[in-house]
Amino acid sequence: MFSKILIANRGEIACRVIKTAQRMGIKTVAVYSDADRDALHVEMADEAVHIGAAPAAESYLVIDKIIAACKQTGAEAVHPGYGFLSEREAFAKALKDNGIVFIGPNPGAIAAMGDKIESKKAAAAANVSTVPGYLGVIEDPAHAVTIADEIGYPVMIKASAGGGGKGMRIAHSSAEVAEGFARAKSEAASSFGDDRVFVEKFIVDPRHIEIQVLGDKHGNVIYLGERECSIQRRNQKVLEEAPSPLLDEATRRKMGEQAVALAKAVNYDSAGTVEFVAGQDKSFYFLEMNTRLQVEHPVTEMITGIDLVEQMIRVAYGEKLALSQNDVKLNGWAVESRVYAEDPTRNFLPSTGRLVTYRPPSEGPDGDATVRNDTGVFEGGEISIYYDPMIAKLVTHAPTREAAIKAQARALDAFAIDGIRHNIPFVAAVMQHPRWISGNLSTGFIAEEFPEGFSLPQPEGEIALRMAAIAISCDHRLNARKRNVSAQMEGWRKVEFERTRIVSLGGERFEGDVTEQGGAVTIAFADRTLTVASDWRPGEPVWRGTLDGVAIAAQVRPILNGVVLGHAGAYANAHVYTPREAELAALMPEKIAADTGKFLLCPMPGLVKALLVTVGQEVKAGEALAMVEAMKMENVLRAEKDVTVAKILAKEGDSLAVDAVIMEFG
């Protein structure tokens, strides 16, 4: 076996590969840019080599620097992770030319399948059903419009070397094709160093289902079941699960055998994924093949018990697969949430900054479920503007889909992050969504269920009652601490607190009488009595305990006269009062937020790529005002109503903080 490997990547996937290598007794080498000098993967590896400036094009994408790091450290092989150089034929060839093993497929397979255009041609030649589209290279917007008109709308414009939603646009008209073509080419060039794009028919109400394949250098290929990745935003996956609630065993076998046939046709010899777009009637079409490890591979690992990184390393070393197709058994259900540094209440725009709090839920058993958290960050670390905004991948595995979803919901409630905006409130809300729970999915789920964007749900019904009980429990614990403050004056009786508590929670009012016995607190509401037990202490960001014996968790942040609570996807300020305090609080005036309607504010930290209007220009609602780039995505900012531009306060090339004023309207 290899004695030392280099991981040509960063973040959570670099940490993930290092863990398996360490378990196998293989020494690891990390590479890092200026921005990642203090990153977790650098600390975890046995050695680390600096390879350049923060932009990926000057560090993680430079083949010569990766090869030099291998020679400097004596690394015999390179695992590329996903993204960056993972699907570059030139990288695999360069490593081979320098006597270094690529832990991935051979260059020929990458050429045939890694390129989205070539992969469709290969699939068509192998009689695999493919989506209607134009597989040639498109030179200009007019050519793209002509092709789209012939195929029929809507169409998908995709980067040939793309992945992760970068360089991808859906267009419903010729005007959208022209704009989407320019944006897709620009993003493709900056993300992959390859600006080629192609156009294909966009299947309405589709599901995204992919088959994990695994091959060796001796002609053996097997499939490890499927993953459903239909919950997507801007064509980027947000939630994944394995298996799919759509498929039956016959369809699974048909898709798996087709994926294996395609892999064998190109002599595929590593872990890879064959992606399909599936109809609600279980029809399916080949979409593309990713010649690398997928972001969502943990859900497959959890239901099969197979470490895909270990298999990749063993296959790259030349070992035969130790498994046959009959050895592959699917056990239970796994659900994965991608935790991103983005603000779901601002159209999911990226958020950067320091992780003041980063405390994921405990990994390991959780009742009949198992919790796994793949991450590349730590408390006190920084989320950079230069790379993908992923913070972690939270995975739960349980005997059934229902149990896995409930375990995921509990784990999200226990995941504390402060200092940046993040999407945990959104994925926690999805876990409670009836359509998600029923498995009635499509790639349009987010657009259809959140057409006006996402706002923090207010608690209702049982969830509101639970949150009221938690708020009273927190208040009771604070009062107990006050009773026991040391050095109180002798001769004075300790302060006694009233039993009755009134909670103002998201517009609702709850009144409960509190009694404590044997460490448990009983709260008697008007029509329900709850027994609450918790070892929560003031200052902790997560409340863990039981309500009537049922284990739950909630986010807790202090505010004046109460706490901000987050639980089961709902968030609210919970003010806790005595009856007299509640009377007085009702008389207090509310502070009205300032009107920012006369300004265009930068919705996320980013770089001003273009200002698209001038002072004095009259702009109609929906027209583009400026373009801001953050985390490899170009975001066009548009007018919300008809306005006249009075002042422009930023210039192209400026790096702006969130809510910085870009322009003022008259």
Whole-angstrom Cα distance, residue 402 to residue 241?
12
Whole-angstrom Cα distance, residue 67 to residue 98?
8
Whole-angstrom Cα distance, residue 394 to residue 415?
9
The values of phi and psi at residue 551, to 5°, are -75, 130
Cα 55 to the center of its chain, rounded Å: 21
Whole-angstrom Cα distance, residue 381 to residue 43?
12
Beta bridge partners of 334: 242, 397
**Do residues 243 and 226 make contact, with C-beta atoms less than 8 angstroms apart?**
yes
HSE value, Cβ hemisphere, 13 Å, CA-based, for 28: 26
HSE value, Cβ hemisphere, 13 Å, CA-based, for 295: 26
Number of Cβ within 10 Å of residue 363's Cβ equals 14
Beta bridge partners of 643: 619
Helix, strand, coil proportions of the chain in percent (round to 5)? Answer: 30, 35, 40
CA distances from 155 to 65, 206, 230 (A): 39, 13, 18
Nearest to 79 by CA among 99, 100, 95, 103: 103
Burial of 324 (0-12, 13-18, 19+ CB in 10 A): exposed
The 633-638 sheet, strands edge to edge: 633-638, 624-630, 606-611, 655-656
The tokens for 85 are 């150089």
SS (H, E, C) 135-164: CCCCCCHHHHHHHHHHHCCCEEEEEEEEEC
Of 288, 301, 336, 342, which one is the catalytic site residue?
288
Whole-angstrom Cα distance, residue 146 to residue 342?
36
CA distances from 50 to 8, 30, 69 (A): 12, 9, 8
**Do residues 92 and 106 make contact, with C-beta atoms less than 8 angstroms apart?**
yes
Whole-angstrom Cα distance, residue 239 to residue 335?
7
Cα 484 to the center of its chain, rounded Å: 44
* 288 is known as an active-site residue: yes
The values of phi and psi at residue 567, to 5°, are -155, 135
Burial of 448 (0-12, 13-18, 19+ CB in 10 A): exposed
Whole-angstrom Cα distance, residue 186 to residue 173?
20
The tokens for 342 are 């983005």
Known catalytic residues?
A: 288
